[in-house]
Amino acid sequence: MAVDKKKRRRADDSSDSDTDGSKSLPHQKRLKADSLILSTLKTLAENTPSTSASKTLTLADLSLSATCREVADLSLSSVQSSIESLILSLAHSILSGRGFAFSVPSRSAANQLYVPELDRIVLKDKTSLRPYASVATVRKTTITTRILQLIHQLCMKNIHVTKRDLFYTDVKLFQDQTQSDTVLDDVSCILGCTRSSLNVIAAEKGVVVGRLIFSDNGDLIDCTKMGMGGKAIPPNIDRVGDMQSDALFILLVEKDAAYMRLAEDRFYNRFPCIIVTAKGQPDVATRLFLRKMKMELKLPVLALVDSDPYGLKILSVYGCGSKNMSYDSANLTTPDIKWLGVRPSDLDKYNIPEQCRLPMTEQDIKTGKDMLEEDFVKKNPGWVEELTLMVKTKQKAEIQALSSFGFQYLSEVYLPLKLQQKDWL
C-alpha cells in the first residue's frame, strides 16, 4: 500500500498539472511571457539582412566553369517581337529546303547545377533539336508551334489566360494538360522570358492572412480582415504593389489544415506575422508572392512543414528552386528560409505519441536518401542531421500529429516555444 502511494506521488510530481489542479498542455510550463518571445523575434527581424544594404549576387557576378542560362521579365512587345523573329527564321529555313526545328534548352536533371554562392538551382546551357521532320518529335514540334501562336495572340490582345484556358484551345492536339504545360515552360526557355511574361497564369491556389496590407490591381487589401480563409494570392504578380506590414516574420506553412488552425486562432495577433500557404506543392504565384514579401518587407521567413522527405522537398523548392523551373530560379526563389518545424528531432523532443507517427515507406526512405545526396542539403549540416535521423528511425509525422495534445497545441505551445528557443535551422 505504501509502495502504491509512492508511485502515485511520483506520477503526480511529474504530471503537467498546475498548482490549482487544472491540467496544462505538455511543455506549456516552459513558455515565458509573450513579451520576451516578441523581443527575440524583434532581434531576428533586425538582424535580417537588407537586400539594399549589399548588392544581390547574380549569375553574371560569378565565374562558373559551366555556362548557365537565365530568363528575364520581358514586356509584351518584346515577347511578341521575339516570337515573330523566331517564326521568320523558321520560315527562311523551310524556304531554303532545310525544313524546320526548334532549339530547345534541356531541362533534364543532367542539365541542372546547384550554385552554392546563390543557394539555388540554375539551368546549364545544353540544348536539343526538336525537328518537325522526325516521327519522334513531330507532335511535340506541332504543339510548340501552336503554343507560340497562342502566346502571340495574347500579346496582341494584351490579356491573361490560365493554363487550363490554354489547354482547352486545342484539346485534340494537346490531349493532356501536362503536355501543354510542359511545352509552355519550353517556350519560356526558347524566348528567354519568365512564364509570367507570356501572360499565362495558373488558377488561384495560395492564400495569405495576417499583418499585411497590399494593393491588388488598385484595390487596397488588409489581410487581417479577410476572415479565416484569408486572401487568395493573385495569380498575376504584376497586380500586386504597395506592400506594408508591421509583422516581425513571415510564417510559411505547407498544409491548408495547419494554416486554418493558425488563422482561426489569430496567431498573427499574438505574434505579429504574415501566414502564407500554397496548400501543398508550391505554385508559381505563391513563390513569386513570397519572394516579393521577403524582398520588399525585409522580413525573415520561417517554414512549418511535415516531418517527412516531401516536406523538406517543398521547403527546398521555395528556397533553392525546382529542377523543372530552374531556368527562372532567380525570380522564384526566396533566400534564407529557416526550417522551424516539424523536424524529425521534434518527435521525441515533444513526445509525439507513437500512434501519431507513421512508418516510412520504401519510397519515402529512398527519397530521403536521395535528398541527402543533393548539394543544397549538404550545404546545411542541420538539414543533413535531421534528414539522417529521419532515415535512421524510419518514422515520419504530419503537422497534425501535434493535435494529439489538443487542437490548439500548435498555436498555443509548439510554435511559441519554438520561437522562444530560436529553434530553427
327 is catalytic: no
How far the first Cα of the chain sits from its last, in Å, is: 50
CB-CB contact of 99 with 93 (8 Å): yes
Question: Residues with Cβ < 8 Å from 45, sequence gap 6 or more?
Answer: 248, 249, 299, 300
- Distance (Å, whole) CA 24 – CA 46: 34
C-alpha cell at 60: 553574371
- Distance (Å, whole) CA 397 – CA 257: 14
Which of 154, 183, 181, 163 minimizes the C-alpha distance to 235? 163
Catalytic residue from among 114, 168, 310, 327: 168
Residue 128 is given by DSSP the state E
CB-CB contact of 291 with 333 (8 Å): yes
Q: Is 68 helix (H, G, I), strand (E, B) or coil?
A: strand
Residue type, 15: S
- Distance (Å, whole) CA 14 – CA 25: 13
- Distance (Å, whole) CA 419 – CA 271: 10
Catalytic positions, written as ranges: 168
